[in-house]
Amino acid sequence: MKNILGKLLTILGFAGCNILGGCSYAYGTPYADFEVKGVVTDGKNPIENVQVKLIRTFQEHERDWGKADTTNKQGQFSLRFGDEIFDTLHLKVIATDLNNTYQNDTSKIEFLWSDVKRNKKKRKDDWYDGKATKTVNFTLKEKNDK
């Protein structure tokens, strides 16, 4: 009888669930959508054709994601990506002038769990935590070739 009851509960999906309070087992990793955006200027005017790239940093290690965007005529860039988030996401943002007129620049940012704006209504995925956005503006200096 005990064996039959166990098989019946397994078929009905109660094997990993608490009868009084829902399932106790879940598999997956919380994740969110992230955006890094901004404007690159020379202090007065926007700079077009600047590659802005994200490097993820882990303690002393860096990982190039291959995530990059090039500024438009207004000097704007926007990098969007989805990623898992446990605690803090550390990024290095690198601006490289593809015309070789301006000096490159780097900025460091981090996304905290508290930066994520929760929006569970948008998706029916229990592991989706929402979206976070950071703005990084660069003012590049002209190269002194003399």
Tally of structural domains, the chain: 1
Q: Which is it for the CA torsion 6, 12, 13, 18, positive or negative?
A: negative
Q: Which is it for the CA torsion 3, 4, 8, 11, positive or negative?
A: positive
Does residue 7 sit within a domain?
no
* pLDDT score of 100: 94
CATH number at residue 33: 2.60.40.1120
Collapse the DSSP code of 81 into the 3-class scheme (helix H, G, I; strand E, B; otherwise coil) and give the result. Answer: strand
Does residue 47 sit within a domain?
yes
Residue with tokens 């981090």: 110
The pTM of the full predicted model, rounded to 2 decimals, is 0.73
The answer on pLDDT for 117 being more than 60 is: yes
* pLDDT score of 133: 95
**Domain containing residue 91:** 29-139
Average pLDDT, whole number, for the chain? 81
Q: Which residues share a beta bridge with 84?
A: 31
